[in-house]
Amino acid sequence: MKKFTSVSDIENLQQIIKKALQIKENPLSETEKGKGKTIGLVFLNSSLRTRLSSQIAAQNLGLNVLTLNAAQEAWNLEFADGAVMDGNTVEHIKDAIEVLNQYCDIIAVRCFAGMKNKEDDVNESILSQFEKHAKVPVISLESATRHPLQSLADCITITENWNEERKPKVVLTWAPHIKPIAHAVGNSFTEWMQEMDVDFVITNPEGYDLDKNFTKDTTVIHNQEEAFKDADFIYVKNWSSFDDYAEMPEVKEDWMLTNEKLKNTNNAKVMHCLPVRRNLELSDEVMDGENSIIYQQAKNRIFSAQTVFSEILDEINSGK
């Protein structure tokens, strides 16, 4: 694997999931693989799971880890090409990435959507700069449009929780929130489910359809109750409007996931990437109930990251 920013960087998803499950069985089986190499984890936005799981994964592989919480600890970055830097920005992103090239064998970056300019977000205005200027492999720790390490962890978790012959029905459901949230998790989960052997359905209120470049021919149902029928997995996530970018059109129905709604499913397992707003996106009873596999999902973030780092190290160590 030369880089990891979307599902298209993976040749064989089933093989990657199998490798991740082997790593989970024995996380310290490759402690020499990253010896003498350094991974830089650059966070332009907040994180709990991604930062800690990536650190554990890198340490399990013997990598040196540099973590930079850039928004709090680094110079104020300029992203615009050709900018006259006579304002608040102190260091251009090009220069920052070139310096990271001197220190790191792998650069991993978290760069959320700005949620102000649709074109900038759709075109990955920040991640694309890392891809352009980095001279070492780049890994996305969540970008404007995708969260691939989360999606791989989600695929691992679904695989662990499914042992029937038939395909599981997986439903991605929109949930309420108090502020505009980006589309990265919803887009990415959609993209990865399209590669999995599952029956996949998205349900969201009118006005909240995800970008059609991601949903493609996936069924989108605007009635949550109808979508939940016979579901084996329900993935809860909020996102703002894509068409009316970053707006929050009024929703009259109650979309919070409750135990009452789970009765309409095939005793569905409940997933969420976290952090979750309890009793807004889903109820306490769901979060703490026996159908929740949300903490298992969070644990699998380690093995998702470790699998990707291991694959990237294979490429580096082969000298290709």
Under 8 Å between Cβ of 192 and 7 = yes
- Using the rule CB under 6 A, is 71 a contact of ligand CP? no
For 216, counting Cβ atoms within 10 Å of its Cβ (0-12 exposed, 13-18 middle, 19+ buried), the class is exposed
Residue 10 DSSP code:
-
- Using the rule CB under 6 A, is 50 a contact of ligand CP? yes
From CA 121, how far away is CA 213, in angstroms rounded? 14
Under 8 Å between Cβ of 57 and 196 = no
Among 48, 80, 83, 99, binds ligand CP (CB under 6 A): 48
Q: Please give the helix or strand (H or E) that residue 204 lies within, else none.
A: none
Residue 80 burial (CB count, 10 A): 11
- Using the rule CB under 6 A, is 188 a contact of ligand CP? no
Find the part of the chain contacting ligand CP (CB under 6 A) among 48-56, 91-99, 174-182, 308-316: 48-56
- Using the rule CB under 6 A, is 187 a contact of ligand CP? no
CB of 203 to ligand CP, least distance (A): 21
Binding-site residue total for ligand CP (CB under 6 A)? 9
Site for ligand CP in 238-297 (CB under 6 A): 273-275
CB of 206 to ligand CP, least distance (A): 27
CB-wise, 249 or 275, nearer to ligand CP? 275
CB of 153 to ligand CP, least distance (A): 8
From CA 139, how far away is CA 107, in angstroms rounded? 6
Among 6, 145, 150, 187, binds ligand CP (CB under 6 A): 150
Q: Is 237 annotated as a binding residue?
A: yes
Under 8 Å between Cβ of 219 and 190 = no
CB of 90 to ligand CP, least distance (A): 26
Q: What crossing angle do the helices spanning 13-25 and 294-317 adopt, rounded to 10°?
A: 100
Instruction: Summarize as ranges the residues that interact with ligand CP (CB under 6 A).
Output: 47-50, 142, 150, 273-275
